[in-house]
Amino acid sequence: MRCPTLGEASLLVRAGKYTPTQLVDEALAQIELTEPKLKVWVTIDTEGAKAAAAQLTKEAEEGHIRSPLHGIPFGVKDIFDTKGLKTTMGSPLFRDNVPASDAAIVARLRDLGAIVLGKTHTTEFAGHDPAPTCNPWNLAHTPGGSSSGSAAAVAAGVIPYALGSQTGGSVTRPASYCGIVGTKPTYDLISKTGVYPLSWSLDHVGFLTSNVEDASMILKALAGIEVDQMAKPPTIGVADRYFAEKADPEISEGFNYAVRKLGESSVEIKEIALPKSFDYAHSAHRVIMTAEAAAVHEPLFSKQPGDYRPYLRGQVASGLLVPSTAYLRALRIQAIYRKEMIGVMSGCDVVATPAATSAAPKGLEWTGDPAFNSVWSLAGFPTITIPMGLTKDGLPMGLQLAASPFAESRLLAVAMFSEKALRFHSYPPPPT
C-alpha cells in the first residue's frame, strides 16, 4: 500500500480523518516491508517520530494545525544535520556523528509540524561513490545519486516527500530515474546551513515529491511562493543543440513525444539558441566542484585518505592540484554563462530538456550522467523534473524544466500544466 501524497495527507489530517500517529505507523510498516530490498534508510528514528506524532496528533485534536505539513512524515538526506540523530554523510569518517542541532531547513520543517522519519542514504559526501539503494522500478538499476535514498523512498510510496541536495544533478536526475518530481530551487533560496558542503558555489537544497502540487506546497511553506496563475498558455523553449545529440535515442524519442503533446495542449514551443558560453559550462562546473570539494575535505583527507572511497579520493587529490588561476577563470565563466542564459531565456517562460541522458543505468556501481542537470546547477537556475513516460523496459523518463533565477512561481505553474498534459500515472511494483 502506497502512502498518501502530501496533498492528500494534509487534507486528511486537517479534516480529522487521519492522525499523524496513523501516518507514522503506516510509514514504519512500509519500511519494514520494503527496506530489505530497497536499502533506503541509514537511520530510522522510530521513537522520535512516534513521540512527535503523538504531540502533533494532540495539537490537531485541539484544533491547532501548524501548517499544511502538520503531522506528515518525511525523509532527510544523510548530509543534513539532525539534532540527536546520527548523520553519517555516507562515510565511515562520520559513522558515529550525532549533531547537536538541526540543519536550518530541518528545524524549519519541524516548526511547521513535519515529522522526521529518518535519514536516507546518500552517496559518500554527496559525491559519486554510490549508496547501496536500489531503484524501486527495477532493483538491478541505480536510483541515481546523490539523493539516492530520498528518491527511492518517495517513488516506492513509503513517504510523501524527502529532502535532497544538488551540486550537479543530485535531485533532478534521481527524480527522473525513479519516476517522481524533483525540485531544485534557485541557488541559496533555501538555506544550506547545517548541510555538509560539497561545493559552496554549486550546492542547492531541494526535495522530492510524488507530484508538482506537493512541490508547490513545500515551496509555499518554506519560501512563501505561490504558483503563478497563468493568463495564457506558456511558452516553452527547446535548445537548438547539445541535448538532442547527447541523449540516448529512446530518451530523445520520449522527449520529442512530450514536446508534441505540450504543443497539442496550446503551449508555444520556441527554439532557443544556446550561448557560446554554454560550450564551457561543463568544464567550468567540473573545475569549481573539484577545487571546492578539495578545500572542504583537505583537513580530513590529509589525515585519513584511506577512509575515502575511490571516486571522491581521486577528486580531492586532483582538486588539490587545481591552480588558483583555473579556479578563478571557471568562476568568471560561471558569471558570464549565467548572464547570457538569462538573456537567452527572456523570450520564454521555461526551457525544456530531457532530465537525464538515459533511463536509470543497470548496476549499482555508478549513479548516472548529470550532464543535463549540472549546466543549470552552474547557473543557479531553478529546475523541476516531472515524469514523461516509460522506456520499453519499463523504466521512467523525466522532463526537466528550467526557469530564470527566482522564477519558481512561473516554473511551478508550467510544471503543473505540463504534468496535466503528459498524464503520467504509473507506479513501480512493490519491491517485496
Amino acid 367: pLDDT: 98
Q: How far is 119 from 88, CA to CA, in rounded Å? A: 9
Give the residue numbers spanning the domain of 151: 1-432
Cell numbers 522510530 correspond to what residue? Answer: 46
In 3D, which of 282, 255, 270, 276 has the Cα closest to residue 376? 282
* 59, 65 contact by CB (below 8 A): yes
**Where residue 6 falls among pLDDT bands split at 50, 70, 90?**
very high
Identify the three-state secondary structure at position 282: helix
Amino acid 1: pLDDT: 85
User: Cell for 19?
Assistant: 492522525
Task: Give me the chain's average pLDDT, please.
Answer: 97
| Prediction pTM value | 0.98
* 179, 380 contact by CB (below 8 A): no
Amino acid 432: pLDDT: 61
**Number of domains into which the chain is organized:** 1
Active site residues: 77, 146, 170
Amino acid 273: pLDDT: 98
Task: Identify the residue with better confidence: 4 or 431.
Answer: 4
Task: Give kind and range of the element (H or E) at residue 419.
Answer: helix 408-422
Cβ-based neighbours of 256, under 8 Å, separated by 6 or more: none
Q: Rounded mean pLDDT of 300-324? A: 96
* 403, 382 contact by CB (below 8 A): yes
Digit-coded pLDDT (tens) for 343-391: 999 999 999 999 999 999 999 999 999 999 999 999 999 999 999 999 9
Q: Rounded mean pLDDT of 214-242? A: 97
CATH of the domain at 55: 3.90.1300.10
Digit-coded pLDDT (tens) for 322-340: 999 999 999 999 999 999 9
Q: Rounded mean pLDDT of 245-267? A: 97
Q: How far is 72 from 81, CA to CA, in rounded Å? A: 19
Strands 204-209 and 161-166: antiparallel
Q: Rounded mean pLDDT of 190-196? A: 98
Digit-coded pLDDT (tens) for 25-55: 999 999 999 999 999 999 999 999 999 999 9
Q: Please report, rounded to a whole number, the percentage of residues in the chain having pLDDT higher than 90.
A: 98
Amino acid 430: pLDDT: 85
pLDDT for residue 203 is more than 80: yes
Digit-coded pLDDT (tens) for 382-420: 999 999 999 999 999 999 999 999 999 999 999 999 999
Residue positions counted in the chain = 432
**Where residue 301 falls among pLDDT bands split at 50, 70, 90?**
very high
CA 258 to chain centre: 21
Q: How far is 145 from 149, CA to CA, in rounded Å? A: 8
Beta sheet of 115-120, edge-to-edge order: 41-44, 115-120, 73-77, 161-166, 204-209, 181-184, 383-390, 396-402, 350-354, 235-239, 268-272
pLDDT for residue 240 is more than 90: yes
CA 224 to chain centre: 20
In 3D, which of 97, 96, 322 has the Cα closest to residue 194? 97
Q: How far is 64 from 416, CA to CA, in rounded Å? A: 30
